[in-house]
A and B are shown apart, each in its own frame.
Chain A
Amino acid sequence: MTGQKTDPVLVEARRLAGDPEDSYRDRIVAALYARAQTIAYRTVKVAPAPCQDFDWRLDAILTSRLWGYPIMLALLAVVFWLTLKGANYPSALLASLLFAFQDILTSLFHQLGAPAWLHGIVVLGMYRTLAWVVAVMLPPMAIFFPLFTLLEDLGYLPRIAFNLDNFFKKAGAHGKQALTMCMGFGCNAAGVVGCRIIDSPRERLLAILTNNFSPCNGRLPTLITLAAIFMGGLLTTAAGAVAATLTVAGIILLGIVLMFFTSWLLSRTLLKGVPSSFTLELPPYRPPQVLRVITRSVLDRTLYVLARAVLVAAPAGAFTWVLANVHLGAFSIIDHMAGWLQPLGKAVGLDGYILLAFILGLPANEIVIPILLMSYLSIGMLTEVDSLATLGEILVRHGWTWVTALNVMLFSLMHWPCGTTLLTIYKETKSLKWPLLAAVIPTALGLAACFLVKLLAGLLGAALGG
């Protein structure tokens, strides 16, 4: 990855040249910079007036001792509040439109005399999952990403790294890990590749292994939806919206804390070592082109989510429908599988279907909730899940409480990375050990956290009840 200076030819060259350490290198770089300085002196006519003033003044606020961290937290909360509030209405609209079309499709299939299994696979399996993914994923993503891009174009991300670097150093990691974590919100696979900006192999591995603690765009909507239903009371009141926002922001913060903790633990055990050198350029603030960012980013997200829905969610929907409707004995395949997982699921305050949905969601995190719904729905009647309220009802009917919801959110934050990310980790590290570890660490933490929440909630319930 990086050059060692142990190559005999180089060692020999330097020794024979009587060159103490790096003197040739120094003299060459000095000559280059001297030349650059001369050229710049001759050609740059007006010496740069201290127009840096603006940047420095903004830095004095955004990275100030007093305001640096509160501003970061406030931005986190504001971004998620806007996302939750803004996504609510378009989500409902999209859902009612898309599920109205499902009825049309169904009657079309009836008129054409299509067999029930075909209608099942195509409409109830593929189309319904697709509709869900689009309705639930698209609006929050189309709001979150433009906001995030605005901050990115402004130049705020390197300031986050600047503010947080000391914590990374204490965890034995590299400050640029903050940048790769930010990329992870978009997609963990991209975040993992982005870890190339970290020179030191050890610190790069830390960043790769912990990138999954940034919930990616396939998981954020799950967090947002569940928070809206169970913590936000369907966002009908201002207090509800605040509660939901704080829950989502809290989960993100927990991810950040765990990322630090895991990095710290790894750099004291498996990836022992001292922090290497850290240099980070803080670019000038640039006013983002707001309109262009918004239109571009909304368009990009729309295309992205649609493509993912067609390529991943629809086939997964068909597959799950088959699992849910092929019966072995009295139960469907999915019931059998969930049955095996039930003891473990119950032990940690989830259930077998939830664990199964996460397992079947390995190809892509956005299909976890649709798979879960389909397996719940296959048991009873075919409700149309065309609003948050109905979704909530279905979940409650299957025994969900706010503890279940919280645990699903926690497990969504902490479980194995998606298949693409695992493959990317393998490609970037060229060893099976690291993707394996990247899956084991968060899963263990996730199960432990869920268990703990269940335990505490039980104690709390007993205390209140008694």
Chain B
Amino acid sequence: MGLTNQATGFRTLRENFLPARTGSYLVALAGNPNAGKSTVFNALTGLRQHTGNWPGKTVLQARGRFTHQGHTFNLVDLPGTYSLLANSAEEQVARDFICFGRPDVTVVVVDATCLERNLNLVLQVIETTTAVVVCLNLMDEARRKNIVIDVPLLAGELGVPVVPAAARKGEGLGRLKDVIAAVATGAMRPVPTPIIYDDDIEAAAARLVGQLQPHLKGRLNARWVALRLLEGDATLLQGIQQFLGVDLSEPGIKLQVKEVLA
């Protein structure tokens, strides 16, 4: 079932990733382990994907659909991940889908009771794509723990819409659907606030972006790829080769990387 053993090449990928039916939107559910992604998935689709109070319950992607305001949305529940840097097989499923599955909207489900920790992933996701919605889940628990979150301010800081919810009680899901629909149709265009790194990194990234753009042809956010290359993420190179058919390790490209970093 893993993406890794599916055929390579971008076209096969699209067919594998996208449901056959056109005129529907693809929505990915990402988030830290145990943040309630599967619970949100179940609440939106009416399906009964397994949930459980431990990180790692979901290891395969699950699909479902729901309709809202006359549009059909294909929802994909992903395994939980702490970051977009894939360490394990199950995290790679999530990373590959977010980066190469080309979802129309990526919903990041966030545990409101430990926002800071969860924001790490949100910040990484908004570097890859702008069509992001943050679902601030577990609001009921946050209330019980006397945690009050200024939602509009959070949305302002991130530059993407934030919807508070308590998925287990069905709270906030109407709003969530509205916002997903708005972002999918383009009625709402989030403008994520970029993260500025130190000068070295920014300079190296900027030069690398110039080199990468001709190869990526806009299929991936070049700045994000540049940052990952600087970090030394080898699984991303594999992913790019597998899903986009571009081998960034080819001698020609390697030479250019040298120039950037020299």
A and B bound?
A: yes
Q: Pick the interface stretch among B7-15, B22-30, B67-75, B225-233.
A: B225-233
Q: Who on chain B is nearest to A51 by CB?
A: B145
Please encode chain B, from 152 to 172, with 1 for each CB lying within 8 Å of some chain A CB and 0 for all others.
011001100000000010000
Q: Which residues from chain A contact B220 at a C-beta distance below 8 Å?
A: none
Instruction: Decide if A45 touches B197 in the complex (CB within 8 Å).
Output: no
Q: How far is the CA of A16 from the CA of B257 in the complex (A)?
A: 9
A7's contact among B5, B79, B234, by CB below 8 Å, is which?
Answer: B234
Given A42-B153, A48-B146, are A152 and B201 also a contact pair (CB < 8 Å)?
A: no
Shortest distance between the CB of B247 and any CB in chain A (Å):
10
Task: Give the nearest-CB partner of A10 in chain B.
Answer: B232
Residues of A within 8 A of B204 (CB): 17
A154 vs B51: C-alpha distance in the bound complex, in angstroms? 12
Give the CA-CA distance A29 to B148 in the complex, in Å.
Answer: 26
Output the nearest chain B residue to A283 by Cβ-Cβ distance: B34
CB-based contact B54/A39 at 8 Å: no
* B interface residues, how many (CB within 8 angstroms): 69
Tally of contact residues, A, Cβ under 8 A: 64
The residues in A between 1 and 41 inclusive whose CB is less than 8 angstroms from any CB of B are 1-10, 12-14, 16-17, 22, 24-25, 27-29, 31-33, 35-37, 39-40
* A-chain residues with CB within 8 Å of residue B149 when the two chains form the complex: 43-45
CB neighbours (8 Å) of A22 from chain B are 231-232
> In this complex, which of A12, A24, A155 has the most chain B Cβ atoms within 10 angstroms of its Cβ?
A24
Residues from chain B with a CB closer than 8 A to the CB of A3 are 86, 233-236, 238
CA distance A204 to B87 in the complex (A): 13
Cα(A10)–Cα(B147), bound, Å: 43
Q: Which residues of B contact A176 (CB under 8 A)?
A: 56
The contact of B258 among A16, A194, A285, A286, by CB within 8 Å, is A16
Query: Does B210 touch A at the CB level, under 8 Å?
Result: no
Task: Name the residue in A43, A49, A194, A283 with the highest tally of chain B Cβ atoms < 10 Å from its Cβ.
Answer: A43
Query: Does A196 contact B59, Cβ atoms closer than 8 Å?
Result: yes
Q: Which residues of A contact B123 (CB under 8 A)?
A: 32, 35-36
Closest CB of chain A to B47's CB: distance in Å? Answer: 13
Contact A155 B33 (CB under 8 A): no
Contact B197 A2 (CB under 8 A): no
Check B21 for interface membership: any CB of A closer than 8 A: no
Contact digits for B80-121, partner A, Cβ 8 Å, 1 yes 0 no = 000100111110110000000000000000000101110110
Contact with A193, one of B48, B59, B235, B261 (Cβ below 8 angstroms): B59
Say if the beta carbon of B237 comes within 8 Å of chain A: yes
Contact residues in A for B144 (Cβ distance below 8 Å): 51
Which residues does chain A contribute within 8 Å of B227, judged by CB atoms?
A: 28
Inter-chain CA distance A240–B51, complex, in Å, is 37
A283 to B36, CA, bound (A): 12
How far apart are the CA atoms of A81 and B56 in the complex, in Å? 29
Instruction: Give, as a whole number of angstroms, the nearest-CB distance from A193 to chain B.
Output: 6
A16-B258, A44-B115, A155-B53 as given contacts; A24 in contact with B232, CB under 8 Å: yes
Of the candidates B93, B117, B198, the one whose C-beta lies within 8 Å of that of A27 is B198
Q: A42-B157, A43-B157 are in contact. Are A430 and B234 (CB under 8 A)?
A: no
**A179 within 8 A of partner (CB):** yes
B18 within 8 A of A: no
> What is the CB-to-nearest-CB distance from A111 to chain B, in angstroms, rounded to a whole number?
43
Smallest CB-CB separation from B53: which chain A residue?
Answer: A155
B124 contacts A by Cβ under 8 Å: yes
Chain B residues with Cβ below 8 Å from A29 are: 83, 120
A158 to B195 CA separation, bound complex (whole angstroms): 34
Report the separation of the CA atoms of residues A4 and B34 in the bound assembly, to the nearest whole angstrom: 28
Verify if A216 is at the interface (C-beta below 8 Å from B).
no
Question: Once the chains bind, are B53 and A28 in contact (CB under 8 Å)?
Answer: no
With a CB–CB cut-off of 8 A, which chain A residues contact B93?
196
Given A9-B248, A12-B258; A31-B55 close (CB under 8 Å):
no
B253, CB-defined interface residue at 8 Å = yes
Bits for B194-221, please: 1 = Cβ < 8 Å to A, else 0: 0111100100100000000000000000
Quote the shortest CB–CB distance from B48 to chain A (angstroms). 8
Q: Check if A51 sits within 8 Å of B146, measured CB to CB.
A: yes
Q: How far is the CA of A411 from the CA of B257 in the complex (A)?
A: 60
The 8 closest A-B pairs by CB, nearest first: A3-B234, A40-B116, A36-B119, A3-B235, A197-B56, A199-B88, A196-B90, A45-B148
Q: Beyond the given A1-B89, A24-B201, A157-B54, could you list 18 further A-B residue pairs with CB under 8 A, ordered by the A residue number?
A: A1-B88, A4-B234, A12-B254, A13-B257, A13-B261, A17-B261, A22-B232, A24-B230, A27-B197, A31-B195, A31-B198, A32-B123, A36-B123, A44-B147, A197-B55, A199-B89, A283-B34, A427-B1
| 9 residue pairs A–B, Cβ–Cβ below 8 Å | A2-B87, A7-B249, A9-B249, A39-B154, A44-B149, A149-B52, A158-B54, A194-B56, A286-B141
Which residues of B are in contact with A by a Cβ distance under 8 Å?
Answer: 1, 5, 33-34, 48, 51-56, 59-60, 79, 83, 86-90, 92-93, 113, 115-117, 119-120, 123-124, 141, 144-151, 153-154, 157-158, 168, 195-198, 201, 204, 227, 229-238, 248-249, 253-254, 257-258, 261-262
